[in-house]
Amino acid sequence: MNSFVDMPALLAAYRSARGTVYLVGAGPGDPELLTLKAARLLAEADVVVYDHLVGPEVLALVGPQARRIYVGKERSRHTLAQPDINALLVRLAREARCVVRLKGGDPFVFGRGGEELQVLAAQGVRFEVVPGITAACGVAAYAGIPLTHRDHAHSCTFVTGHLKDGSCDLDWPALARPGQTVVIYMGLAGLPAICERLIAHGLPPDWPAAVVEQGTLAGQRVVSATLATLADAVAAAGLESPCLTIVGEVVRLRDELAWFEPRTESAGIAASQPLTAGA
């Protein structure tokens, strides 16, 4: 095995990458769910490159010295194409000491973090990863829906409802198996088709499901229904992105475990507010 290391080339690559890019997960929304390391890096950063799902409460933690660059992507509307974002990160790393690439949730869960780091690695740019609480875990917890439970779900699957090519061609037979929880990111636009296909592949029409809007934030709303009625209930409630869809028997536990809101529900819809002491 050849163990030779071209040290001059290696040092040249590190010198060309003056700064470090920190790929940081901003969590699901509530700024108190940030890690200590994430909060420290936001305060120390020279540049923060942030996405659409990073809210103002998290951005308030960015130090006054930092340059802020918005590169958010919304459905059918992208501020920058992904190759341009990749090139921007490489350029900034050669201009600044501390570059924070800030993504909602966890950057390695449907956040394109791996794609961006591949480019940085190829260009010899130093980087570190700071995980965040992914939306599935944070939003489900604030909605009072445990993702696993010994009586209801022995596994949990995360999928995206919007693939790279714009389709929603998922492994429906695998997703329609009982005894598991399915969490669907970015599935609001395709919700009617998602529910129809899960039923067509074996789940009963009365299978529990929920959609959570603005999870972990003061404006959180939850619509709990069945696969047969969920799309109509969500449309009637006027829910908008960002939303997360949770499918499985664990949704039934929400009536018992919801803690982030007063128990003032109407037609399966709850407008969430944090509980206070003595409430």
Nearest Cα residue to 58 out of 71, 41, 74, 75: 41
The catalytically annotated residue of 51, 106, 169, 206 is 51
Please report, for residues 25, 87, 213, 268, 270, the alpha-carbon distance to residue 275 in angstroms, rounded to integers and kept in the order given.
26, 45, 18, 19, 13
User: Has residue 264 got a pLDDT over 70?
Assistant: no
What are the residue boundaries of the structural domains of the chain, listed by start? 7-133, 136-271
Collapsed DSSP state (helix, strand, coil) of residue 274:
coil
> 117 falls in which pLDDT band (50, 70, 90)?
very high
The pLDDT of residue 169 is: 79
The pLDDT of residue 46 is: 97
> How many Å from the N-terminal Cα to the C-terminal Cα in the chain?
67
Strand partners, 153: 149
pLDDT in tens, 23-35: 999 999 999 999 9
Q: What amino acid occupies position 117?
A: L
User: In the predicted model, what is the mean pLDDT of residues 170-197?
Assistant: 95
β-strand pairing of 126-130 with 180-185? unpaired
> 178 falls in which pLDDT band (50, 70, 90)?
very high
The catalytically annotated residue of 73, 103, 171, 206 is 73
Establish whether 164 is a catalytic residue. no
DSSP letters, 75-120, are TTEESS-HHHHHHHHHHHHTT-SEEEEEESB-TTSSS-HHHHHHHH
Name the one residue in this structure whose structure tokens are 């809101």.
261
Give the percent of the chain with pLDDT over 90: 78
In this structure, whether the domain defined by 136-271 belongs to CATH 3.65.10.10 is answered with no
Establish whether 51 is a catalytic residue. yes
User: Has residue 263 got a pLDDT over 70?
Assistant: no
User: In the predicted model, what is the mean pLDDT of residues 175-192?
Assistant: 95
- What the block records as the tokens of 194 is 């998602």
List b or e across 43-56, with b for residues whose CB sees 16 or more CB atoms inside 10 angstroms.
eebbbbbbbbbbbe
User: In the predicted model, what is the mean pLDDT of residues 88-115?
Assistant: 95
pLDDT in tens, 74-99: 665 657 899 999 999 999 999 989 99
Q: What are phi and psi of 86, to 5 degrees?
A: -60, -45
The pLDDT of residue 39 is: 98
The pLDDT of residue 278 is: 34
Give CATH superfamily name and number for 7-133: Tetrapyrrole methylase, N-terminal domain (3.40.1010.10)
- What the block records as the tokens of 168 is 């929603």
